Amino acid sequence: MSLPIDAGLLAAHNERLRREVQADYDHLGAQLARRGIDLERVRAQVAAFGVAIPSWGVGTGGTRFARFPGPGEPRHVFDKLQDCGVIQQLARATPTVSLHIPWDQCSDWSELRGAAGALGLGFDAINSNTFSDQKGQAHSYKFGSLTHTDAATRAQAVEHNLECIEIGQAIGSKALTVWIGDGSNFPGQQHFRRAFERYLDSSRQIYAALPDDWRMMLEHKICEPAFYSTVIQDWGSSFMAASLLGPKAQCLVDLGHHAPNVNIELIVARLIAAGKLAGFHFNDSKYGDDDLDAGSVSPYRLFLVFNELVAAAHEGVAFDPAYMLDQSHNVTDPIESLMTSAVQVQRSFAQALLVDRAALDAAQEANDAMTATHLLKAAFQTDVTPLLQRVRLDAGGAVDPVAAYRASGYRARMAEARPAVAGGGGGIV
Amino acid sequence: MSLPIDAGLLAAHNERLRREVQADYDHLGAQLARRGIDLERVRAQVAAFGVAIPSWGVGTGGTRFARFPGPGEPRHVFDKLQDCGVIQQLARATPTVSLHIPWDQCSDWSELRGAAGALGLGFDAINSNTFSDQKGQAHSYKFGSLTHTDAATRAQAVEHNLECIEIGQAIGSKALTVWIGDGSNFPGQQHFRRAFERYLDSSRQIYAALPDDWRMMLEHKICEPAFYSTVIQDWGSSFMAASLLGPKAQCLVDLGHHAPNVNIELIVARLIAAGKLAGFHFNDSKYGDDDLDAGSVSPYRLFLVFNELVAAAHEGVAFDPAYMLDQSHNVTDPIESLMTSAVQVQRSFAQALLVDRAALDAAQEANDAMTATHLLKAAFQTDVTPLLQRVRLDAGGAVDPVAAYRASGYRARMAEARPAVAGGGGGIV
Amino acid sequence: MSLPIDAGLLAAHNERLRREVQADYDHLGAQLARRGIDLERVRAQVAAFGVAIPSWGVGTGGTRFARFPGPGEPRHVFDKLQDCGVIQQLARATPTVSLHIPWDQCSDWSELRGAAGALGLGFDAINSNTFSDQKGQAHSYKFGSLTHTDAATRAQAVEHNLECIEIGQAIGSKALTVWIGDGSNFPGQQHFRRAFERYLDSSRQIYAALPDDWRMMLEHKICEPAFYSTVIQDWGSSFMAASLLGPKAQCLVDLGHHAPNVNIELIVARLIAAGKLAGFHFNDSKYGDDDLDAGSVSPYRLFLVFNELVAAAHEGVAFDPAYMLDQSHNVTDPIESLMTSAVQVQRSFAQALLVDRAALDAAQEANDAMTATHLLKAAFQTDVTPLLQRVRLDAGGAVDPVAAYRASGYRARMAEARPAVAGGGGGIV
Amino acid sequence: MSLPIDAGLLAAHNERLRREVQADYDHLGAQLARRGIDLERVRAQVAAFGVAIPSWGVGTGGTRFARFPGPGEPRHVFDKLQDCGVIQQLARATPTVSLHIPWDQCSDWSELRGAAGALGLGFDAINSNTFSDQKGQAHSYKFGSLTHTDAATRAQAVEHNLECIEIGQAIGSKALTVWIGDGSNFPGQQHFRRAFERYLDSSRQIYAALPDDWRMMLEHKICEPAFYSTVIQDWGSSFMAASLLGPKAQCLVDLGHHAPNVNIELIVARLIAAGKLAGFHFNDSKYGDDDLDAGSVSPYRLFLVFNELVAAAHEGVAFDPAYMLDQSHNVTDPIESLMTSAVQVQRSFAQALLVDRAALDAAQEANDAMTATHLLKAAFQTDVTPLLQRVRLDAGGAVDPVAAYRASGYRARMAEARPAVAGGGGGIV
């Protein structure tokens, strides 16, 4: 199997750093042993962890004001897959890719599946798109899709989701993620209850077409593109809808889709309790749906989310959340951002594994807030970098993925291989 | 029946203004007739509308920094009732009072009921208090009440709620409002899922004691007094709990208990759809749970809430929301604030009745956002002051409640009759 | 002078409604007379009021997710001007247009000025654009413009602003509005103090080129397109920069560019006090820079802003704020939105003129919060619709601008006259 | 000098851990050496760092709903000083105490100064209080203090601040911190510009009384106790006031006093640039002015604040910020919270010292956002615990301050020595 980055270059990179990694790893092991933690056991869990790459994430993102593409932008799904291959080769934490239809439309899904396999990649959830119009589309989504007042438009949106399920089956997906932009910009524009009823009605048709081993992941969002109201505005509406649809419908949590100040880890706990946690779209945000790199602004919040997940697993709660990055890379090389973000997510998971659960239980039971919070902080403050480096080394990745990537000259090669697409976006103010 | 404000004074006040009210009312009627609206029909609906007064609202409120009491503060529940009597006599929109235990503890509920009746008042929902400790209390609520890790503390909190139900039965209430301050101030302090389980367990015991014709109203709040997490933090958790408890449990919406930017009228619509809307605590907020006077900062938002309620009633949805004011009057005479707020709530209801529902349905169906939103604005921009004045005149109230109140000298009389209580609060920073 | 909407159609529209308008106007006059207000005097002030139309506002807006254009979209600045002509002809509150360079680039400014004059329009502030790249541009603004670390890029951005001043002089503008998208998406990406210094350095060069009777209006924004930090993030930074630049530099307030909960009318008061209020970009927002129609969600907030302006003028403060709409019309006909928004702004101004300033002064001095706030509410609750209708009638506009516009068939004519531009935006996620 | 915690106990505690601390410290030194950082040099800087304790912080805090005091609450300023002595003895990062008048009123300041000296403590800024009324006060602050409409009330508030300066001189303070609760709860209640003028007028009188080597630190706050507007609502107003007052007036930043989402580190940078940064009140917040323990919710934000401070110092900017904790300890032992918070602040400072400034400058200059943000993360992810432990060991403190404190039995002794004060707060809703 020929991976995008030269194996020799990668080996040389690792060789230079291997001894330091081992020394740091050994010291970390000794420190953790004093705290009663077996680093080897943690390593096995971290090694098994993976987060999906969104196919659209490897292209440069933008805002309604402008998009500033970088060199070597991927031109189609095969280019995107190749970039994902680089990410997985170097960071070894992203074994799957999540496609978006119609952006990733392709004439031969079997060929695509083969190409992915050759890169060591599989496919995660498939994403439908009824928030923008495609050329030649019979009905516009300007005023909604699954919740449109017009039955034919709703039928078209349902039909698109059914097509996504079919594509997903062709490539080995096991879940459909449904995010809609439906909502309103003016008080009175939309009848709230009727729109929700139409959402349920459309979703039931999609749900009915789900294979038995699939999940339907409902993604809520407080605003944007609709700016007065959205139909699935928060986890409450998402939970209500998922409950009415049935056991295969669950709620997806995107970290940037909440009102200011909202305690996201608490929502995660509620959804776990209800058996309705579908999974995550990881990113970070300071102001809204900023789609910044995961953990780049609020790393402790990301850790606290994983703390809920690890606690639930520790207690034997049966659940299986899907992990995906969902970011907009406007000022960085998307490959660098995605590798770094995957490692950040992995870091949060690793740190959450270091929490002394028995001591935490005891402190919580005794209302010893100081000890309880210290136990979380002790885990978070632990520098697990050597652990993550070791996991990558073990798996054939790079000790320092960004450095190895830069050294490889991949982007410059792509800049030559992929002629620049004309301009991009902007003017939508 | 002898009411607190002199009947002659009131009559003279009204006489001076009656002619102008009638002229304005007639012109409003003519304007509305052109829009196809029968003002007489609207008047009947507005006349039947009432919002409960919280007994604690007639005392001056404060913040954790200080409380600045005014003259003539009520000393006990009978004083509070008298002040409520003034409010109802003049504004005629507040036929009921909502008590808070133990703040309104009283040795003879039958006497209290009689006193209320003499003032033309009844009793609305009763409120329990497990967010502060009372002298001689066996177990402290410092670390929680219904969700405390200690079973005895939970039992004590449950017991208090059962006592509230008993008191409520004695005075004719039909609902118990449960708001708890339980939550945490530190990540890790509280086990989210276990705390919620304990909440459910305690609440089930309270629920089991509810008379058949009672409701249990669950009140959520995003923060304060707990500042990292609360157990019933939003309508999602409230809805989840109410669903698990049973049909008599519903969700109460306080307008100040949400995250910034949240669309409250949309939550109202969701709860109506789910058959889980218990009712409201009306107030206004700019920054958080400010407990400002209803509609004093965001009158259009208040209108939009009523627009949902009137729409649902218009469509024949079966629901019966409880209406209560819940405000903190820090810089005004509480009686003036409560009268003004009751009228503001009544105004929003009246304006919502003016919306052309058929035209709105048509505009929504046609995605004519401009017409739809204009229909709401047309109702909101209508100055219904003469309608509200007329309703008060018809019911024996004052055309201008605040002016009549000021003219009556009631507050000065109370300042003499009720010796000032020492100092007040502060120092809790 | 031939205006876009048929004069006969307009006359007929008005004739049908003239009698009702007069009756309502007369009753309003009588009501206000009782409150000591001379409606004729108010009418004169309202008639003199105008708010500028942004040239880009007549095209359908969009989000980073999609843009859904409507029929008859303007193709160039002359088309835009024609649409602005319709708005002014019917609503008579928008005598000027604000251009955006390079979006409104044109080969003959004198011709454009003539075309505007024929429509009864002048030109307001001119807007520069250094937040997106134009074809053939030497240096990219991906990492900043006036604050870029590269001197050549900054020079290019400065040069563009100088060109805007020249164009503005050609068309009769008296102000340059500078909004930049400069900022950062990651902690550490930008050196905060150095970026601000570069902003000042670049701005000083622009300031130096300002004609004596011009103003430079600095527009701040908390986020977007940069999502971790922006260089002119709030009024504090804007004020600091304007102070350092000199008396011709002032601060522009866009109603959607603030952090959640911020009291905008208070900022307006501060800027008035400092002699640094440049003017406004009017719109409304619920979640962020939503660019919703002015007053569509928070009409009382818009009124409170005008209350500050009218109070300052009443007290003889010397200031001259520029008024402009700045909205994104995603789901409505932009012409309808702009007419309606202009009237909403005018309504807020008219209502603010009704506040009893002497009584308000007295109530504030006496700390009678209830009376003070009631005085504002009394003005806001007054339905000034007949006044606005009368002002339009007097000026030759339409009693009901949207109804007259719809009756005119203008949009359908434009749909034929202006071939649809291909697709639009989207895919920037 | 006899310190509160037994020296033998402390020595034994340290002895048990000394070897591990040294091993971890040595490994950290080796790791940092590889990154070109001299740990010894960092240690010297960290050892010199201190943050002041607020005297009121050693008592249990509360909310407007309730206060739940713990055992052994300090009864007066000497008790408070003793608790501060414990904090400093064990954590060795808090060499000064900040007093609050009249809460810390005392009959013999010289005696107090002596008591402090015996505990190894000095005094930081002194805080005035005009946000609550004291028994026997001639004029109430219900409607304001320095900005009150009544001149006599303003004079009284000014006089109180002058008294605070005198007290401060007696105990060796060099700064007066002025935070006022002045503002309004209703639109219209307060004339924004006049209130600000009165603020300036009163503040000028205080400023005039400042000794030459003193600073006046203006503290802004967006809301609470006033909930519609405050007079010094943000850093913009604070900066405007400080600029008008003169060079001894500067702006104090409390981390919980901002609107949601606001970038605080950016404000810090602006104030540094303007020479107007007075210093900090450290705490953490999730929803508002939560007064949570510093860094307990958002540790990376605290680090980013210190990153600005260290960067400015590195570049030779002349400034001297005051550091103080300002927290409300509602559910923890205040001594434990203050020790932990002081260490957290110290940790952030230490981590900021690890940032590779030269590499960061280069990355910023090259717009290499990924490298720039990675450099900050690399510093933040470094576990500096052994460094902090070593600094405490060197200074005679405890390796683990909370563990040593618990082992000492200090709180139990105080519970006996200090009879419980009756009840506490609550009822202010």
Q: What domains does chain C contain, in order, with CATH numbers?
A: 47-352+395-417 (3.20.20.150)
Residue A115, classed as helix, strand or coil, is helix
Strands B122-123 and B175-178 come out as unpaired
- DSSP class of residue C422 equals P
Q: Cβ of D297 and B228 within 8 Å? A: yes
Residues in C touching D274 (Cβ below 8 Å)? 240
Contact A165, A203 (CB under 8 A): no
First to last CA, chain D: 46
Distance from the C390 Cα atom to the nearest Cα atom in chain A, whole angstroms: 27
Place of tokens 């620049």: A420
Structure tokens at A386: 């050597």
Structure tokens at B276: 């889980």
Instruction: Quickly state the pLDDT bin for C415 (edges 50, 70, 90).
Output: very high
Q: Cβ of B297 and C300 within 8 Å? A: yes
Model pLDDT for residues A111-157, shown as the tens digit of each residue: 999 999 999 999 999 999 999 999 999 999 999 999 999 999 999 99
First to last CA, chain C: 46
pLDDT of residue A424: 46
Q: Check whether the bond before A211 is cis (ω within 30° of 0).
A: no
Of all residues in chain A, the one with the smallest CA distance to B186 is: A373
pLDDT of residue D137: 95
What mean pLDDT comes out for the span B266-288? 98
Burial B26-57 (b: 16+ CB within 10 A, else e): ebbbebbeeeebebeebbeebbebbbbbbbbb
What mean pLDDT comes out for the span C200-224? 98
pLDDT of residue D2: 83
CA dihedral A106, A112, A116, A121 (to 10 degrees): 60
Between the alpha carbon of residue A331 and those of residues A47, A408, C185, the distances in Å are 30, 20, 7
pLDDT at C427 over 50: no
Residues in D touching C196 (Cβ below 8 Å)? 269-270, 273
Mutate to test the interface with A, among D370, D384, D387, D389 (most CBs of A within 10 A): D370
Q: What are phi and psi of B126, to 5 degrees?
A: -100, 145
Model pLDDT for residues D296-306, shown as the tens digit of each residue: 999 999 999 99
CB D325: neighbour CB atoms within 10 A?
25
**Most distant CA pair in chain A, distance:** 66
What mean pLDDT comes out for the span D307-335? 97
pLDDT of residue A297: 98
pLDDT of residue B419: 85
What mean pLDDT comes out for the span A381-395? 98
Distance from the A182 Cα atom to the nearest Cα atom in chain C, whole angstroms: 12
The candidate with the shortest Cα–Cα distance to C292, out of C248, C332, C233, is C332
Mutate to test the interface with B, among A141, A153, A234, A377 (most CBs of B within 10 A): A234
> What is d(CA D76, CA D106) in angstroms, rounded to the nearest whole number?
9
> What is d(CA C187, CA D293) in angstroms, rounded to the nearest whole number?
23
What sign does the CA torsion over A255, A259, A261, A265 have? negative
Burial C284-304 (b: 16+ CB within 10 A, else e): bbbbbbbbbbbbbbbbbbbbb
Residues in B touching C259 (Cβ below 8 Å)? none
Chain C: touching chains (3 or more CB pairs < 8 Å): A, B, D
Residue D325, classed as helix, strand or coil, is strand
For residue B245, give every residue at least 6 positions away whose Cβ sits within 8 Å of its Cβ, in sequence order, or none.
B200, B203, B204, B207, B216
Structure tokens at B334: 């509480």
Model pLDDT for residues D56-67, shown as the tens digit of each residue: 999 999 999 999
pLDDT of residue D182: 98
pLDDT of residue B426: 43
> What is d(CA C36, CA D208) in angstroms, rounded to the nearest whole number?
46
Instruction: Quickly state the pLDDT bin for B421 (edges 50, 70, 90).
Output: low
Residues of C engaging B, defined by a Cβ cutoff of 8 Å: 20, 24, 27, 31, 34, 260-261, 263, 286-287, 293, 296-301, 331-333, 336-337, 340, 347, 367, 369-370, 373-374, 377, 380-383, 385, 402
pLDDT of residue A1: 55
Distance from the A201 Cα atom to the nearest Cα atom in chain D, whole angstroms: 37
pLDDT at C15 over 50: yes
For residue D41, give every residue at least 6 positions away whose Cβ sits within 8 Å of its Cβ, in sequence order, or none.
none
Of all residues in chain B, the one with the smallest CA distance to C20 is: B31
Contact C254, D291 (CB under 8 A): no
Burial class (CB in 10 A: 0-12, 13-18, 19+), D38: exposed
> What is d(CA D70, CA D272) in angstroms, rounded to the nearest whole number?
40
Residue D216, classed as helix, strand or coil, is strand
pLDDT of residue B234: 98
Strand residue runs (E) in B231-376:
249-254, 277-282, 322-325
Element (DSSP H or E) covering residue D65:
none
First to last CA, chain B: 46
What mean pLDDT comes out for the span C163-169? 98
Instruction: Quickly state the pLDDT bin for D221 (edges 50, 70, 90).
Output: very high
pLDDT at B420 over 90: no
CA dihedral B91, B97, B103, B104 (to 10 degrees): 110
Residues in chain C: 429
- Beta-sheet strand order (sheet of C126-127): C126-127, C175-178, C215-219, C249-254, C277-282, C322-325
Residues in C touching A66 (Cβ below 8 Å)? 131-133, 141, 181, 225
What mean pLDDT comes out for the span B296-321? 97
> What is d(CA D333, CA D73) in angstroms, rounded to the nearest whole number?
10
Contact C30, A97 (CB under 8 A): no
Residues of D engaging A, defined by a Cβ cutoff of 8 Å: 20, 23-24, 27, 30-31, 34, 260-261, 263, 286-287, 293, 296-301, 331-333, 336-337, 340, 347, 367, 369-370, 373-374, 377, 380-383, 385, 402
> What is d(CA C281, CA C342) in angstroms, rounded to the nearest whole number?
12
**What is the average pLDDT value for chain D, to the nearest integer?**
96
pLDDT at A428 over 80: no
Mutate to test the interface with A, among D287, D383, D399, D406 (most CBs of A within 10 A): D383
pLDDT of residue C2: 83
Instruction: Quickly state the pLDDT bin for D179 (edges 50, 70, 90).
Output: very high
> What is d(CA B429, CA B65) in angstroms, rounded to the nearest whole number?
6
pLDDT of residue D343: 98
Model pLDDT for residues C246-285, shown as the tens digit of each residue: 999 999 999 999 999 999 999 999 999 999 999 999 999 9
> What is d(CA D118, CA D143) in angstroms, rounded to the nearest whole number?
42
CA-angle at D208, arms to D204 and D209, nearest 5°: 125
**B131-135, B418-422, D234-238, D408-412: which has the minimum mean pLDDT?**
B418-422
- Beta-sheet strand order (sheet of A96-98): A53-54, A96-98, A122-123
pLDDT of residue A421: 63
Nearest to B286 among C261, C331, C385 (CB): C261
Cα-trace Rg, chain A: 22
Tell me the three-class secondary structure of C330-344, residue by residue.
CCCCHHHHHHHHHHH
Q: What percent of chain A has pLDDT over 70?
A: 98
Of all residues in chain A, the one with the smallest CA distance to B196 is: A270
- Beta-sheet strand order (sheet of D322-325): D126-127, D175-178, D215-219, D249-254, D277-282, D322-325
pLDDT of residue D427: 45
pLDDT at D345 over 80: yes
What mean pLDDT comes out for the span C315-326? 96
pLDDT at D399 over 70: yes
Burial D158-177 (b: 16+ CB within 10 A, else e): bebbbebbebbebbebbbbb
Q: What percent of chain B has pLDDT over 90?
A: 97
Contact B253, B265 (CB under 8 A): no
Between the alpha carbon of residue D281 and those of residues D256, D288, D372, the distances in Å are 9, 14, 28
The candidate with the shortest Cα–Cα distance to D345, out of D313, D303, D309, is D303
pLDDT of residue D227: 98
- Count H helices and E strands in chain D, helices first: 15, 11
pLDDT of residue C419: 85
The alpha carbon of B181 is separated from its chain's Cα centroid by a whole number of angstroms, namely 19
What sign does the CA torsion over D299, D305, D307, D310 have? negative
